């Protein structure tokens, strides 16, 4: 870690030792805890997802900003604070918010973007999340494009997800990633998954048959000094996947509700995801939990393969 970062970043001893010795570490975001699930279900999930990573032989590293300090690895007290989110005072921190939070001593949850940043600062190469942000529908007039895509273009972290959220324009999201030079990998799939569903109708750049295939790709990409990240689409297990046509209708209904309510900007995604949970009778939340756990398993397996010398 660079000396100047020590003024702003705390890394738990376990994570610091693992990074120093080249052991596998997997980063986790905290927005899913503070804004994605109710308490105490979110706290139970936080503990379970870390257990899943340990079961696969890697060290979990949940990210957040606590009292103006970037945290790579959280204590039990930190997790409870984020999960309770009393009064809804814990915000979602993107790249533009990070220096403000540090300067003002704020507490906030990390999005995909800021989790990638903190992971890079801490020396962590792999990150498991639910789904990435992307190009929103109607972006040709709203210019609403997630900062996740720019971060993937510039920050050398491999992000394992269940695809882009269905509320987005997945085709344009993949076009943007192509323009930014981000490899999009399908973990055993030829179609990029669409979060709740295993298919999207859009292909990937490369199909990885096993975790070591992704590890090898990462070694080569970063070994030849090509900056930026790698995006791995890991489909939700079949038993938890929702029907594509059904969910397309649900998403259309949620989008119509957002338009009617005048929801815009950064409030759009949380509104839509909450509406989808309502319209599916909670089925989408159950799927969200299972795909996030599945991504954690996959990320841990990739990180373990990467830590081996030959990646065979």
In 138-217, the DSSP E strands lie at 158-161, 184-187, 206-208
3-state class (DSSP) for residue 227:
coil
Of the candidates 204, 83, 130, 165, which has an alpha carbon nearest to the alpha carbon of residue 74?
A: 83
Helices 112-122 + 147-154 axis angle, to 10: 20
| Active-site residue set | 29, 165
User: Whose structure tokens read 């995801």?
Assistant: 273
Which residues, 6+ apart, have CB-to-CB distance to 269 below 8 Å?
133, 165, 167
Using only the alpha carbons of the chain, give its radius of gyration.
18
* Tokens matching residue 213: 């295939």
Phi and psi at 183, nearest 5°, equal -65, 130
- Hey, which residues does 9 pair with through a beta bridge? 70
3-state class (DSSP) for residue 197:
strand
CB-based contacts of 255-263 (< 8 A; 24+ apart in sequence): 255/137, 255/167
* Tokens matching residue 170: 């997945």
Q: Strand 59-66 to strand 69-72: parallel, antiparallel, or no bridges (unpaired)?
A: antiparallel
């Amino acid at each position: 870690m660079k000396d100047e970062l020590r003024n702003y970043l705390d890394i738990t001893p376990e994570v610091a030792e693992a990074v120093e010795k080249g052991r596998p570490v997997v980063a986790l975001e905290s927005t899913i805890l503070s804004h994605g699930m109710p308490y105490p279900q979110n706290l139970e999930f936080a503990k379970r997802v870390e257990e899943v990573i340990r079961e696969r032989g890697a060290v979990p590293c949940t990210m957040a900003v606590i009292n103006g300090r970037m945290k790579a690895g959280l204590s039990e007290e930190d997790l409870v604070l984020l999960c309770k989110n009393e009064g809804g005072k814990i915000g979602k921190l993107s790249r533009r918010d990070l220096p403000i939070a540090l300067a003002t001593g704020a507490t906030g949850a990390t999005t995909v973007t800021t989790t990638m940043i903190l992971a890079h600062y801490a020396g962590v190469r792999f990150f498991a999340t639910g789904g990435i942000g992307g190009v929103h529908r109607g972006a040709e007039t709203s210019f609403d494009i997630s900062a996740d895509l720019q971060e993937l273009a510039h920050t050398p972290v491999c992000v394992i997800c269940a695809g882009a959220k269905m509320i987005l324009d997945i085709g344009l999201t993949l076009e943007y990633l192509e323009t930014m030079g981000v490899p999009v990998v399908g973990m055993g799939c030829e179609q990029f998954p669409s979060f709740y569903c295993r298919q999207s109708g859009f292909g990937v750049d490369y199909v990885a048959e096993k975790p070591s295939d992704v590890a090898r790709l990462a070694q080569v990409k970063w070994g030849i000094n090509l900056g930026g990240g790698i995006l791995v689409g890991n489909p939700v297990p079949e038993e938890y996947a929702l029907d594509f046509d059904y969910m397309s209708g649900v998403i259309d209904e949620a989008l119509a509700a957002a338009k009617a309510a005048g929801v815009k900007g950064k409030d759009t995604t949380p509104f839509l995801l909450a509406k989808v949970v309502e319209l599916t009778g909670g089925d989408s939340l159950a799927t969200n939990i299972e795909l996030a756990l599945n991504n954690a398993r996959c990320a841990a397996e990739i990180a373990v393969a990467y830590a081996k010398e030959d990646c065979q």
